Amino acid sequence: MNRHQPQLPLAYEPVALDDGANVKTHSFRLALDGAAEGTLVWASGQADGEARPGNTWYSPEGGLYLGLILEPDYPTEQAGQLALVGLISMGLAMAEHVVPMTDLGYRWPNDILLSGSKVAGLWLDMNEAADRLVLNLAVNVTQAPQQVIDAGCVQVDGGTTETTPEILLESFARHFLDWINRWAEEGMAPVLKQFRSRHAKPGTPVLLQLPDGQSVAGSVVEINDEGQLVVETDGRTRCIHLHEFFGLK
């Protein structure tokens, strides 16, 4: 196991887990208990990984699994935009540590692809009082989970053996601090410039599963200026809101 201690900006309060605990569950419990903004729970392995409610994230050792606690002081409709802030922050972190010309892409609103393989997923959870938001990220770094057909891992699909969970955590923490401040000051425009440059083009087929069990199948029309996905389905257009996708109330 790599014993390198990540060097994080002072804005974060790191909580390292090494007992196989579920990072998402642990992070949300801390949020419910009133943990301060910037509390960052992370591990390089977990026994029972969880993605969106009811879904499993297979979590082999040598990955990066994190939960970042935030204190939103804006409407819930805006809170979903932090998914794209988090996604581009991890994407830029990966871009620093993969070989040149590696194909890095985003899939709205919560996946990162390297060389066409899914290597990372992101989820948002909010407590009932809406005063704590947990941004969860899971990255396959050294191993791809054998249970998932289209999954890859960073080291194989563009990185090197030097691309470790700890190195990616350091880079992500730095980029996220920069981009959440830009988002707060400039809105979605700079975030969307980054996101759209690596997202599927209009006309690309898309299939989404919403929290209420509804499936939306169609093709991409655009990512609008609020970061919502506009799709064409059954001959009409529909806008899927970020807070709707993540089930934020």
Instruction: Tell me which residue of 101, 83, 82, 104 sits closest to 93, measured CA to CA.
Output: 104
Average pLDDT value for residue range 149-162: 90
193-242 tens-digit pLDDT: 999 999 999 999 999 999 888 999 999 999 999 999 999 999 999 999 99
Please give the distance of CA 104 from its chain centroid, rounded to a whole number. Answer: 14
Cβ atoms < 10 Å from Cβ of 161 = 7
pTM tops 0.85, yes or no: yes
Average pLDDT value for residue range 144-155: 85
Determine phi and psi for 88, rounding to 5 degrees.
Answer: -70, -30
Element of type H or E holding 24: helix 23-32
Instruction: Grade residue 145 by pLDDT with cuts at 50, 70 and 90.
Output: confident
Q: What is the CATH number of domain 13-196?
A: 3.30.930.10
Q: What is the mean pLDDT of the chain?
A: 92
- Is pLDDT at 58 greater than 80 in this prediction? no
